Amino acid sequence: MKKKKTVTIECEPIEIKGSLSREEIVKKVINIFIATESYQRGHGVKFRYPVENLSINKKLFILRPAGLRKWNFDFKVEVLEEFRLGKGTHDEIVSDFQSKKQENPQRFKDLLDALSTLYNCLENDVDVVLGNYNALQKTFQTGAKVDVLLKVVKWMFIMEDIVYWNYKGRAMLYNAIKGV
């Protein structure tokens, strides 16, 4: 049996900034998926959306469809080795926060405050959030850079909101991080 060719379509960037609510974010992202993918869908077609610029001279991308048997609006956050977050699983994200707490418990409180700002959608632009915490980006030497960590988590929050809309959404990951 011949394997079907996979085509990856590089898409326009998706920007989620300001104080958009969870509902507004989900609508915006899903509407972009519909508008972009409605004429190019099918088996073997994948979509790659740039969503964030990172301080490590890389971009963060989300990929659709997410994987095996996931054909709804789910997506995967593309976590590269250079991000220093392993494969980007919830456990690896939580472990990175734990390492940062052990490294600097005082500044870790600021990191959790920044995370709470994102969680509560008070400000969805990580660079703006970090601007409110003097030198937080340079505080931690362990694991991922702070902006990389928070930008990955922001998109994981969005993904969880889409997948588990009528359940806990972003709360599952957030509560795990807060529990470190």
Q: What DSSP line would sit under 93-126, residue for residue?
A: HHHHHHHHHHH-HHHHHHHHHHHHHHHTTS---H
Yes or no: say if 46 and 7 are a contact pair by the CB < 8 Å rule.
yes
**pLDDT tens for residues 124-167?**
999 999 999 988 999 999 999 999 999 999 999 999 999 887 77
Task: Give the separation between CA 117 and CA 107, rounded to whole angstroms.
Answer: 16
For 138-167, give the DSSP string: HH--SSS-HHHHHHHHHHHHHHHHHHTTTT
**Residue 1: per-residue pLDDT:** 57
**Residue 44: per-residue pLDDT:** 80
**Residue 3: per-residue pLDDT:** 63
Yes or no: say if 71 and 65 are a contact pair by the CB < 8 Å rule.
yes
**pLDDT tens for residues 33-82?**
999 998 887 778 899 999 999 999 999 999 998 766 656 788 999 999 99
Residue 171 above 60 pLDDT?
yes
**Residue 141: per-residue pLDDT:** 94
SS (H, E, C) 34-82: HHHHCCCCCCCEEEEEEEEECCCCCEEEEEECCECCECCCCCEEECCHH
Give the model's confidence band at 116: pLDDT under 50 very low, under 70 low, under 90 confident, else very high: very high
Greater confidence, 166 or 83? 83
**Residue 98: per-residue pLDDT:** 98
| Structural Rg of the chain based on CA atoms | 17
